[in-house]
């Protein structure tokens, strides 16, 4: 083959981002709202990054945790990180906003209160970051899935489906992450118009995106998409191995929100950190 048919290009330099890279920034004091498994995971990751734990708030946990949110308990914090329960989240958020502290919220199930909370955040001139999933890997996976869906939808021989697997104690099905992935597929794979999560005792319609859920054992969480044709299958999979990924994402958000005002999703935080990189 003639040399003229091949052309080489210089490698593009990329700005590398590490979840533990913000040593140039001022270290922050963190108040943990909720001191269960996730709160303790965030504490461990924060200490490894050099941050200080200013307070632990949990009415149930012992180990020196305070029982309520107040100016005395979180007054010395630069930012709060909230991982509790849906029933408690809205009240916790309101109290932290009233004290004009920036906040990262990993709890789900309170989003019906979001419009009112957005107004309160603006009134108190503070900041809030929320997400159904703070896993850094999952949020980058969303971007990979969106790009793949845009490519594959242009070739009519490819179909797409999804599956997710979690431990037997998980109470929701499909998972919030799986629902988000389904929304991404519908947005970027226009041939799919609606999501089907139930058993099908019929042939699937071409415009239906089938998402299946499995619950068994101790699986920490696996989400997969398959782009399938008669010739081959391309699969994309994210598998969680621990809570460390969630803690890393929550800390990135906590470092980012200090000094900012307004309500943001974790996707917006990553968009800012990545600078629009695809």
* Joined tokens for residue 101: 């502290």
Contact 42, 101 (CB under 8 A): no
Q: Helix 266-274 crosses helix 244-257 at what angle (to 10 degrees)?
A: 70
Question: Omega of the bond prior to 26 within 30 degrees of 0, cis?
Answer: no
Query: What is the number of other CB atoms lying within 10 angstroms of the CB of residue 196?
Result: 17
Choose the catalytic residue: 101, 166, 180, 238.
Answer: 166
Choose the catalytic residue: 29, 113, 153, 170.
Answer: 170
Q: How far is CA 151 from CA 171, 205, 224, in A?
A: 34, 21, 17
Q: How many Cα atoms occupy the beta-carbon half-sphere of 141 within 13 Å?
A: 22
Q: Bridge partners of 223?
A: 164, 238
Q: How far is CA 162 from CA 16, 135, 158, 167, 251, in A?
A: 31, 19, 14, 18, 30
Sequence-distant (6+) residues with CB within 8 A of 171 are none
Whether 166 is a known active-site residue: answer yes
Catalytic residues: 166, 170
């Amino acid at each position: 083959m003639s040399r003229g048919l091949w052309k080489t290009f210089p490698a593009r330099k990329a700005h590398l981002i590490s979840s533990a890279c913000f040593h140039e920034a001022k270290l922050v004091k963190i108040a943990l709202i909720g001191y269960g498994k996730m709160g303790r995971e965030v504490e461990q990751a924060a200490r490894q990054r050099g941050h200080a734990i200013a307070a632990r708030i949990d009415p149930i946990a012992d180990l020196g945790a305070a029982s309520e949110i107040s100016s005395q308990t979180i007054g010395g914090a630069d930012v709060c990180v909230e991982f509790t329960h849906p029933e408690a989240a809205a009240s916790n958020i309101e109290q932290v906003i009233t004290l004009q502290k920036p906040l990262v919220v990993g709890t789900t199930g309170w989003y019906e209160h979001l419009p009112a909370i957005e107004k309160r955040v603006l009134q108190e001139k503070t900041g809030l970051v929320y997400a159904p999933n703070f896993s850094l890997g999952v949020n980058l996976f969303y971007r990979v899935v969106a790009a793949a869906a845009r490519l594959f939808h242009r070739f009519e021989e490819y179909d797409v489906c999804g599956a997710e697997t979690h431990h037997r104690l998980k109470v929701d099905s499909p998972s919030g992450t799986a629902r988000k992935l389904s929304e991404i597929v519908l947005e970027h794979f226009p041939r799919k118009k609606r999501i089907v999560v139930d058993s099908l005792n019929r042939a699937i319609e071409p415009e239906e995106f089938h998402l299946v859920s499995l619950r068994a054992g101790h699986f920490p969480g696996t989400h997969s998409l398959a782009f399938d044709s008669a010739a081959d299958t391309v699969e994309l999979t994210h598998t969680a191995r621990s809570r460390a990924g969630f803690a890393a994402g929550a800390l990135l958000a906590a470092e980012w929100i200090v000094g900012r005002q307004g309500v943001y999703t974790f996707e917006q935080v990553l968009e800012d950190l990545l600078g629009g990189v695809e």
